[in-house]
Structure 1
Amino acid sequence: MPDDPSDAAVERFLDRAESALDSYDQGYADADATLATLRTHVDELSASVEESAAADSDDRSDDEDPDA
């Protein structure tokens, strides 16, 4: 089980990418559809990682002592 939300996002991406490639390999999807699907999954992964990084940054700034 992933400890970090970005770990879960990477696992989800890998599962979805593998599924898209399997569909292509089996002839259920053409190359253009497969690339579009993969691009969507890459965009989702990127957004998830950025959100996770922003949340980490917010958590760190909450820990800072404003009087220091």
Structure 2
Amino acid sequence: MTDDEPGLADAVDRFLDEADAAFDQYDQGYADADATVAVLRSHADDLRDALEE
């Protein structure tokens, strides 16, 4: 295991938690599809940034 793997694992966990929250907001009617996709894209960008670090 490299030193980068724990940081990446944390980033993946954070992404999954944030994605679940975005889906929950959508499912409960608090966000529309466009807003949910925008949130997911932002979280995916954060995950990509963590991967590149």
Task: Please confirm whether the aligned pair reaches a TM-score higher than 0.5, indicating the same fold.
Answer: yes
Which of 1 and 2 has greater Rg? 1
Structure 2, unaligned runs of 5 or more: none
- RMSD in angstroms over aligned alpha carbons? 0.9
Q: How many residues align?
A: 49
Alignment of 1:43-58 (within 5 A): 43-51=45-53
Deviation at 1:11, TM superposition (A): 0.1
Higher relative contact order (CA 8 A, sep 6+): 2
Structure 1, unaligned runs of 5 or more: 52-68
- d(CA) in 2 for partners of 1:15, 1:35: 15
Give yes or no for the alignment of 1:7 onto 2:2.
no
Poorly superposed stretches of 4+, deviation over 3 Å:
none
When normalised by structure 2's length, the TM-score is: 0.89
The sequence identity of aligned pairs, in percent, is 57
